[in-house]
Amino acid sequence: MLRKSRTKVGRVTRPQPMLNLSLFLLGVSFFGTVSYIIIKNNTSQESLSIPARSGLNAISERTNVISESLPPEIPKSPWPEINEHARQAKVPIVMYHDILPEKEVFFDVTPEELNHHFRKIALAGATPISFDRLLNHLQTGTPLPEKPILLTFDDGYGGHYKYVYPLLKKYNYPATFSIYTNKMEITTGRTSVTWEQLQEMANDPLVTIASHSISHPNDLRELSDQDLKKEIFDSKAILEKRLGIAIKYFTYPVGKHDQRVREQVKKAGYKAALEMKNNNTDFAGESENLLSIARFGQSRLETVLLQAWGGHPLPRQDGSYNFNTPIRKSTHEVGRHEVTIITGGRPKTIHADSRYQVEEIIEGTQAQAAVDGAFFSLKYLDSNVLIGPSLSHHNSEFSAGNKGENKSLVDRPLVLIAYDQVKFVPFNPEKHDTLTELREILSGVSDAFVAAAWLVKDNQPQPYRTFTDLYGFDAMRFRAFWGINQAGQPVIGVSQTRLDAVTLGEVLQEVGLREAVMLDSGASTALVYQGESLMRFVPRPVPHVVALYPPQAFRIQAHDRN
């Protein structure tokens, strides 16, 4: 049984001679091709916290943070296509109908319940966004706040002005109201917003008005061409004339539409359209296109808030780093292979005093995720001695490694980690055997180790010829890796299927890594997220991990260093 220590990171054993290199020479083989990517699950289980500010101020602040590294112009996908980057995000659109003190049907919501819903949104750290902002995201892939959500209210009930609008102003939440124009002219069993009230709402930047037809027919598909055109074209014209604003969006009554209906929506000049389906499971980016954007019923709010995610940052044009984003888990299928990756945060290493499961090594630290790290000696079952030079921020103790072994590591990736950047350099045993020399390469280096091989280098997956001196590179094995993606974020991960090193590099380049190196693999392959192993087997205990810490970690050290 594995012995647990109270001082997993407190002691470093000095290198011993004649260490077994077999673990360092592990590798994996595959003959398929990379064809496509499917994001299976971007669900994040971050703890809930109340934002310091909500509403437009918070939205503006988050927007500034996200946008500061973006290029000045981001090309749009051909309309009405949805950008591939946007398809990876998880933006829920939540649909409400009437808001009234006493429910009449199951999907009615009371004002107290709506206030509770808005409170849940705040507690989840989510950011309601406008339809305009969602459209820009769907067309360009521009990332949204970490947990975005679009709120929509259909049919123009009186409760929308009496109850919803005051709550929107209280929370500073934007929302979209879908209006069918006959509602203000006829008497029904339900209350209706008036034109005067609608004008007041339309004048508020928090409110977007969408057309919901003229008479709210049960099925637009059954109308004649003339009646269909009237419902779609004339409703837009009436709203624009009465409210003095552009009406850019359409909401299908009862959610029903087909190609003929969508063609009329297109001809009328709408930029996007919302649909409604029972038991919908699609987030906005998973919709077919901009003319059939999916929504969730309000009863799904709590579930979709947990999954909401604004998407990966766009690629950095300057090749710099971004260690200031939240930590997220995602699973990608590429061809016949599956990889689990964890992205974001601040990378560091932990060198334990013996060998443990990865979750044991990070227990008691701020690390939210970790992958098994450098290769280690097999000479003793409890040895923590690594192959090659090493340095960990936990104890700041540098080990030069075994000189005899170091000669066999020439040109392997030497990983150097500082507070705000990382360097991957070809290892030179004559130049990289002192801490002073490492600091000359990267000022402020806090962590260092030698990895097995480059998988992706300078945005290119590494070809077969670069692995010829690595034993087992073409064997079919589970593999562990870490690197930097196109957005400058740190990434750790594992393959959940067996594959060779060359194919893994192709997979990682396909999912957006610009640099990636292979870590200890095979039986040692291990990945932990929020204290839980993500492996489908029990990995071999290891002495070293690459961990991801929250962005705010180590800021005191950075201040002291400066």
pLDDT in tens, 467-498: 978 889 999 999 999 999 999 999 999 999 99
- Per-residue pLDDT of 375-415, as tens digits, reads 997 666 778 999 999 999 988 889 999 999 999 999 999 99
Q: Judge whether residue 362 has pLDDT over 70.
A: yes
CA neighbor of 347 nearest in space, from 553, 546, 561, 554: 546
What is the CA 4 to chain-centroid distance, rounded?
34
Higher pLDDT, 62 or 209: 209
Q: Helices (H), strands (E): how many in the chain?
A: 16, 24
Lowest mean pLDDT among 24-28, 323-327, 429-433, 511-515: 24-28
Burial class for 381, CB neighbours closer than 10 Å (0-12, 13-18, 19+) = exposed
Contact partners, residue 184, CB within 8 Å, separation at least 6: 156, 192, 193, 194, 195, 198
CA neighbor of 128 nearest in space, from 206, 198, 48: 206
Question: Are 328 and 551 spatial neighbours (Cβ–Cβ below 8 Å)?
Answer: no
Query: Residue 555's pLDDT is what?
Result: 63
Q: What is the distance between the alpha carbons of residues 422 and 484, in angstroms, rounded to a whole number? A: 9
Lowest mean pLDDT among 29-43, 83-97, 137-151, 239-253: 29-43
CA neighbor of 14 nearest in space, from 308, 397, 291, 393: 397
- The arithmetic mean of pLDDT across residues 325-332, rounded, is 90
Contact partners, residue 476, CB within 8 Å, separation at least 6: 28, 29, 30, 498, 499, 500
Q: Judge whether residue 53 has pLDDT over 60.
A: no
- The arithmetic mean of pLDDT across residues 511-535, rounded, is 97
CA neighbor of 273 nearest in space, from 245, 246, 296, 292: 292
The pTM is what? 0.70
Query: Residue 422's pLDDT is what?
Result: 98
Q: What is the distance between the alpha carbons of residues 382 and 252, in angstroms, rounded to a whole number? A: 65
Furthest C-alpha separation in the chain: 91
Strands (E), 37-154: 37-41, 93-96, 127-128, 148-154
Q: Judge whether residue 327 has pLDDT over 70.
A: yes
Query: Residue 315's pLDDT is what?
Result: 83
Query: Residue 454's pLDDT is what?
Result: 98
Amino acid at residue number 46? E
- Per-residue pLDDT of 215-238, as tens digits, reads 999 999 999 999 999 999 999 999
Residue 225, number of CB atoms within 10 A of its CB: 9
Residue 187's pLDDT band (cuts 50, 70, 90): confident
Q: Judge whether residue 25 has pLDDT over 60.
A: no
Q: What is the distance between the alpha carbons of residues 247 and 237, in angstroms, rounded to a whole number? A: 8
Q: Which helix (H) or strand (E) holds 339?
A: strand 337-343
Query: Residue 9's pLDDT is what?
Result: 36
Starting at the edge strand that comes first in sequence, how are the strands of the sheet with 369-372 ordered? 346-356, 542-549, 369-372, 527-529, 532-533
In the chain, the domains with their CATH numbers are 22-38+317-561 (no CATH), 75-307 (3.20.20.370)
Mean pLDDT score of the chain: 87
The SS3 call for residue 350 is strand
